Amino acid sequence: MKITLLCALGMSTSLLVEKMKKVAKNRDINVEIEAHPVDDIDKQLKTADVILLGPQIRYKKNELFKKADVANIPIEIIDMRAYGTTDGEKVLDQALELIN
């Protein structure tokens, strides 16, 4: 399973990705989690099982949700509080709920 986080440049989500990986490891969940810049969405739609967007790019929601819908990939904006506190557990749960 591959979870992709997209943000403005792919850097602000890197700490969150690391925290999500730790939670996944502790739960014995086999998952690949990556952060990429939002401009890579077309490439990421080919390999991701779910895409989460950083709250700072919510202004692109309509465009990105349409692309994900066409590719049949679940997509959502990361909970703002979880993003701000880098709550890896909550964001991982958000991604897993979208897949199921």
Summarize pLDDT for 18-47 with one digit per residue, the tens.
999 999 999 999 999 999 999 999 999 999
19 and 87 Cβ atoms separated by less than 8 Å:
yes
Confidence of residue 9 (pLDDT cuts 50, 70, 90): confident
Q: Which spans in the chain are helix H?
A: 14-26, 41-44, 61-71, 80-84, 88-99
The pTM score is 0.94
10 and 43 Cβ atoms separated by less than 8 Å:
no
16 and 44 Cβ atoms separated by less than 8 Å:
no
Confidence of residue 97 (pLDDT cuts 50, 70, 90): very high
pLDDT over 70 (residue 10):
no
Would you name the residues annotated as active-site residues?
7
pLDDT, position 12: 72
Q: Hey, is 38 helix, strand or coil?
A: helix
Instruction: Give the CB-side neighbour count of residue 97, counting CA atoms within 13 A.
Output: 10
